[in-house]
Amino acid sequence: MRSLISILDFSVEELDKLISTAKDIIVHPENYVEKCRHKKLATLFFEPSTRTRLSFEAAMLELGGDVLGFSDSNSSSAAKGESMADTAAVLSCYADIMAIRHPREGAPYVASNNATIPVINAGDGGHNHPTQTLADILTISREMGRLNDLTVGLCGDLKYGRTVHSLIEAMARYTGVKFVLISPEELKVPGFIRFNVLERYGIPYQEVSSLEDAMPKLDVLYMTRIQRERFDCAETYERLKDSYILDTAKMSQAKEKMCVLHPLPRVNEISVAVDSDPRAAYFRQVLNGKYMRMALILMLLEEAQRDPIRRGVDTSGYLRDRVCTNPKCICQVEQELPQLAKLTDPEANIYRCIYCESKV
């Protein structure tokens, strides 16, 4: 049985396969309307969402399946103190597959170790958001005709923006991709992306603060919202919130053939006047998200049918004496979880928490 917790759980071949299934769904939707008949998707949303939850629900309904779940953690037993592990075990009795969004980093991973059905990470804190990446890569593929040989600019909150982390992890594995990381000093990409992905695989990247200067070289511009809810200090958010605003003047500096993506919701970072520019792909990206989630549900259910056994985590190579200090990690609130750290950089002897990937 497989789950999707990090986009690194899928190989490039598997990502390409999902893209081709999604493209087939777009052309022949009638072939898919019965594919998940009598199957149920549970959506467990412990954090606000419009697109992701409804997109999962629409995807399952278009496959002929059913959905159940909640979108407010206060209405679930988590409010009574139930652990993620128990919630996952219980939901496995009601549904065939589940999608979880949680403010705690690593929560869907914990669920996947205790569920007997596939688990999909629909966003965990400021960590990862692999299904948004599926929407993003289908959009890039459809808009640009390729996923190789692209200069990808990511702009805004690269520290807390979980969609940014998963997108870098995915795109870094396509050949000829370069990144321009555009952010204020305080919101640069975190270590688990910088060291585990960009440095480790020698991916070309630049870190800059000016969107104007970066504009002319980009094939893809990925704008993001400054993630207010992840800031510890309200003043810092207020100071940084309007760091970048993409407007028609900046668009006039961009290549004629490029595309602008945004995971949405936007707050102020893209002026509404840009919406009518043919390069603005963010609403098409929303629709692509539904097709990719359809392809994902199909793939995970097929895999679960072929191989229904959940593989336990092999913890033999992990250290148990390092303590995770990330206040947003699931291990801070669920006392039963063992502290486990894996060696991610043997040369520098760096260990990271297995739940949230913070350095320990």
What does the binding site for ligand NCD look like in residue numbers (CB under 6 A)? 51-52, 123, 129, 132, 162-163, 225, 263-264
Return d(Cα 54, Cα 337) in angstroms, integer.
Answer: 31
Which residue shows structure tokens 């102020």? 268
User: Which residue of the set 43, 52, 133, 163 is catalytic?
Assistant: 52
Residue 52 CB, shortest distance to ligand NCD, in Å, is 4
Whichever of 32 and 109 has its CB closer to ligand NCD, that residue is 109
Instruction: Between 45 and 179, name the residue whose CB sits nearer to ligand NCD.
Output: 45
Single out the catalytic residue among 129, 162, 250, 352: 129
What DSSP state is assigned to residue 74?
A: G
Residue 325 known to be catalytic: no
Please, are residues 221 and 153 in contact by the beta-carbon 8 Å criterion?
yes
- The active-site residue, picked from 2, 101, 310, 359, is 101
Q: How many CB atoms lie within 10 A of CB 292?
A: 27
Active-site pick, 23, 35, 51, 228: 51
Whether 80 and 50 have beta carbons less than 8 Å apart is answered as no
Which residue, 2 or 53, is less far from ligand NCD as judged by CB? 53
- For the CB of residue 126, give the shortest distance to ligand NCD in the complex, in Å: 9
Tell me the C-alpha distance between 199 and 68, whole Å. Answer: 42
CA nearest 96: which of 265, 299, 301, 285? Answer: 301
In this complex, which beta carbon is closest to ligand NCD, that of residue 32 or of residue 222? 222
Q: Which helix (H) or strand (E) holds 195?
A: none
Give the shortest CB-198-to-ligand NCD separation in angstroms: 20
**Is 37 labeled as catalytic in the residue annotation?**
no
- The residue behind tokens 């695989």 is 201
Rounded to a whole number of angstroms, the minimum distance from the CB of residue 62 to ligand NCD is 19
293 an active-site residue?
A: no
| Residue 129 falls in the annotated catalytic set | yes
| Bridge-based pairing state of the strands 151-155 and 178-182 | parallel
Q: Cis link prior to 108 (omega < 30° from 0)?
A: no
Does residue 52 have an active-site annotation? yes
Q: Quote the least distance from Cβ 68 to ligand NCD, whole Å.
A: 21
Residues assigned a catalytic role: 51-52, 80, 101, 129
